[in-house]
Amino acid sequence: MLLKILLLIGVIALVYFLFFKKKPLTQTSPKEEDASDEMVACHSCGTYVTLEDALLSNGKYYCSQECLEQQK
């Protein structure tokens, strides 16, 4: 009798794991990530900022307007 109950529990667990358990979400590949996640160093002070927030002048990145004016 105990063997039948354990077998029934095993079958129910197998059905649950095969059909009802949610699979984890897959992570995005690096190619799908935004360029805003890329970090660059400020040419003046060395602070890292996102590419989206950085100021570009003469091929160099700056973290703020103050650092940009300091280099001029």
Query: What average pLDDT values come out for the chain (72 residues) when binned by 10 residues?
Result: 94 89 67 68 93 91 92 74
C-alpha dihedral sign at 58, 63, 64, 69: negative
Cα separation values, 17 from 8, 12, 14, 22, Å? 14, 9, 5, 9
pLDDT at 29: 57
pLDDT at 37: 79
Alpha carbons 34 and 17: distance in angstroms, whole number: 35
pTM over 0.75: no
List the chain domain ranges: 2-70
pLDDT at 25: 66
pLDDT at 9: 96
**Two structure tokens written together for 1:** 């009798």
